[in-house]
Amino acid sequence: MSDDARWVDDPAALDDVMDELLAEPRYALDTEFHRERTYHPRLALVQLAWPGGTAIVDPLPLDVRALARLFEGPGLAVLHAAQQDLDVLTRSVGAVPARLFDTQLAAGFLGHATPSLTNLVAAELGVRLPKGDRLSDWLHRPLSADQLTYAAADVAHLLELHDRLADQLAARGRLDWALEECELLRTRPTGAGDPRHAWLRLKEVRTLRPKGKGVARAVAAWRERRAASVDQPVRTVLPDLAILGLAQRPPRTIDELKRTRGIDDRHTRGNVGHELLAAVEEGLADPVADDGRGDDELDRALRPAVTLVSAWVSQLARDERIDTALLATRADLEALLRDDPDARLKQGWRAAMVGDGVRRLVDGRAALAFDGKGGLRLLDV
């Protein structure tokens, strides 16, 4: 661990760090957490860095809701790949920073394709971060010297990286774009989402018939709610195989439930078995047509356009040196083509760079052509 890093594990020390940081215009922030044994992520460390030093906060003996005082202050929090950090902070602290700059997201506007912190620091600053085991047990105490060094390194260069990226973005006229995306990320809903949508993450689920899809949707939603209530991973509560088995041959009795693949004694004892049967009945009474997205389903006549437009978007991303996933995802293109009023390609910089061209292409007012050098060009017709 760097010489100026502090290990913070008592309330008075944490208050001192908060006082120092509240006087700073910005600070670097990272977290370490575990979620493989629980439904909700469990915070294991909070790393903070500012020009005056580095602090590694141990949340296990502390009430980390004290961090809300910092997050609600005027300072800019600089993070890398912040989405999961925001999820765990929302649950553990009850707040996220009021201002945020995500270096991974910002780097996408300069042609970096979702870079790791190690790769981005090496590319932009010429610094090699210390190697460490990112899968180590961060909840074990005491932490090793290597773990502490690795944790401190995650925030050591974020402020310098912020300076470099912001300067490059400003020079290319894209700083406002990056700040807009960072704010959208900061305010995006966190957590697992609507349990009724959990079934869409199951493999092979789209091959089911409408009633089978209804069962899969209802049982997956039950599993999600159950996992949250007992704080266990969803697949520990009920494996995917069991959901597909219930959907293909819906049981009506406990004996039939016992004969379903993936079901064991845990799922047939007490209230659990009856809850599963109730979920099956709920699903049978509410079948799902098509792929379950209802009004969100793209008109079949426009589906070939997605492939065509995707090729142009990939070319545009290369030409403009911007991460393709940041420019427009397949979901973004489908939302625009089905005229979703909230489509990202109808708004802001994406509308001007991508959305208008897509509409011209689909409406027949433009065409794609090879430029003779292996690239694609959008031409007016």
Given CATH 3.30.420.10, say whether it is the number of domain 5-187: yes
Q: What is the pLDDT of residue 134?
A: 67
What's the CATH class of domain 298-380?
Answer: mainly alpha
Q: Please tell me the predicted confidence (pLDDT) of residue 292.
A: 44
Specify the pLDDT at position 3: 56
% the chain with pLDDT above 90: 81
Question: What is the predicted pLDDT for the residue at 295?
Answer: 41
pLDDT at 221: 98
pTM: 0.87
- Mean pLDDT (the chain) is 93
Q: What residue spans in the chain does CATH classification 3.30.420.10 cover?
A: 5-187
Kindly report, residue by residue over 342-355, the tens digit of the pLDDT.
Answer: 999 999 999 999 99
* pLDDT value, residue 306: 87
Rounded Cα–Cα distance for residues 75 and 101 (Å)? 11
- CATH homologous superfamily of domain 195-284? HRDC domain (1.10.150.80)
Q: Crossing angle for the helix pair 210-230 and 270-284, nearest 10 degrees?
A: 150
In the chain, residues under CATH classification 1.10.150.80 are: 195-284, 298-380
pLDDT at residue 34 in the model: 94
What pLDDT is stored for residue 290 in this prediction? 62
The stretches in the chain having pLDDT less than 70 are 1-3, 133-134, 290-299, 301
